[in-house]
Amino acid sequence: MGSKNKNGEIEENSCRNPDGTLRLRNRNIEHLQEDILYHLALGTESHDLVKMFGDVKFVCMGGTANRMKHLAQYLKTEMNFELPTGTSLCDLTENSHRFSMYKVGPILCVNHGMGVPSIGILLHEITKLMYHAKAKNPIFFRIGTCGGIGLKEGTVIVSKSAVDEMGNAYHTQKICGKVVQRPAKLDHQLVKDLISLKKSDDKFNVVEGITMCADDFYEGQGRTDGAFCDHTEEDKFNYLKELQNRGVTNIEMEAVAFAAFTHYAGIKAALINVALVNRLNGDQVTTPKEVLLEWQNHPQIIVGRYIKQILCKN
C-alpha cells in the first residue's frame, strides 16, 4: 500500500495514502462536484462526512438490519461506550429505505441484504464513504449466516478463501459488455488472528475454511426444496461431496464478491459466518428462531474480541 515507483511517485494502482486514508481506483470521484451515495442517503454536499465518519476504523456488515442493530448494541456494551443522556443509537441511512447503518464509536454496523448484487452496492458506497470521510485503514468484516458442510450447527467459520458455484477463486463481472474476473483473496494473517480469539470455554467451535458463494438459496445451493427442482437428491449429495473434497466448509451468498472487492480496493477484510444447518443432514432450517438468534451471536463475539484487542492497543 502506498508503494512508490522508481520516480518516487505513488503508483496509480496503490489504494492507500501514506496516512492510511483510502485512494480510490477511480479518479472520476475527485472531479465530482457532489457525490451522492444514493443507497445510503448520504452525500458530500448534504453531509459533513469527515466529521460524521472520519474516526471509523471498523465496518461490520451482515445480512439483516435487525442483526446489525443488535451487533451495534452488543459492541456498545462490550466496549463500554457511553451515549450522552437522552440519546440512543439511530439508523444513519434511514432515509435511503435500502440499508440500515449504526455507529458506535469507531465502528459502523450496516446491513447488506442478500446476495452479491446487494452487497456490491453497499461495498461501492461504503468504500466511497470511507474515502470521503478520510477514515484511516478501515477493516471490513462480513458477519453472516451460512450452511455448513459436515460442520456442527453453531460453528463459526473464518474464510481463508472464497470460491463461486463452479469452484473458481475469483469473482466474475460483466462491465460494458466485457467479462472481468477479479481474484477473491482474503487476508491470511487476519484469519489467524480471528481464530486465535476462540476461548477454551466457548460453547462453539471456530474453524478456518473455504466458503462457496451461491447466487441462489435453493437450486444454486443444490437444495431440493425450492419451487423448482430438476436435480435429484443424488445430484445434490454428489455436488456437496465434491465441494467437501475441494475443502469447501460452508455456503453463503456474498463471499466471492466481498473478497474480490476488498482485495481490489486494498482493504483488509474478513468473512466470519456461523453455520445454521449442516447441509449433509438436510436443506431446511428447522431450528427454532431463538436458537438461531443465539448462534448468530457467535461470530459477533469473535469480532467483538478482535476489535476490543485493537482498540486497547491504541
- Interface with its own copies in residues 221-240 (CB under 8 A): 222, 224-231, 235-236, 238-239
User: Which of 190, 197, 204 lies closest to 271, judged by CA?
Assistant: 190
Residues between 132 and 161 that touch its own copies (CB under 8 A): none
Question: In the complex with its own copies, which residue's Cβ is closer, 58 or 131?
Answer: 131
| Grid coordinates belonging to 236 | 445434490
Residue 311 CB, nearest approach to its own copies (Å): 26
| Burial class of residue 228 in the structure, from the number of CB atoms within 10 Å of its CB (0-12 exposed, 13-18 middle, 19+ buried) | exposed
Does the footprint of its own copies cover residue 24 (CB under 8 A)? yes
> CA dist 272 to 1, 120, 239, Å?
24, 18, 23
Question: In the complex with its own copies, which residue's Cβ is closer, 127 or 155?
Answer: 127
Across-strand partners of 4?
Answer: 10
User: Which of 249, 263, 300 lies closest to 184, judged by CA?
Assistant: 263
How far is residue 296's CA from residue 285's CA, in Å, rounded to a whole number? 14
Residue 84 CB, nearest approach to its own copies (Å): 29
Question: In the complex with its own copies, which residue's Cβ is closer, 198 or 263?
Answer: 263
Does the footprint of its own copies cover residue 242 (CB under 8 A)? yes
How far is residue 211's CA from residue 247's CA, in Å, rounded to a whole number? 9
Amino acid identity at 277: V
Question: In the complex with its own copies, which residue's Cβ is closer, 82 or 225?
Answer: 225
Does the footprint of its own copies cover residue 207 (CB under 8 A)? no
Choice from 53, 102, 140, 264 touching its own copies (CB under 8 A): 264
CB 309 within 8 A of CB 197: yes
Residue 48 CB, nearest approach to its own copies (Å): 19
Question: What is the DSSP secondary structure assignment for residue 9, as one 8-state letter?
Answer: P
How far is residue 254's CA from residue 252's CA, in Å, rounded to a whole number? 6
How many residues at the interface with its own copies, by CB under 8 A? 72
Question: In the complex with its own copies, which residue's Cβ is closer, 122 or 194?
Answer: 122
CB 110 within 8 A of CB 102: yes
Does the footprint of its own copies cover residue 74 (CB under 8 A)? no
Choice from 173, 244, 278, 297 touching its own copies (CB under 8 A): 173
Choice from 28, 85, 88, 245 touching its own copies (CB under 8 A): 28
Binding mask 86-125 for its own copies (x = CB under 8 A): ---------x-xx--------------xxxxxx-xx-xxx
CB 166 within 8 A of CB 177: no
Residue 309 CB, nearest approach to its own copies (Å): 28
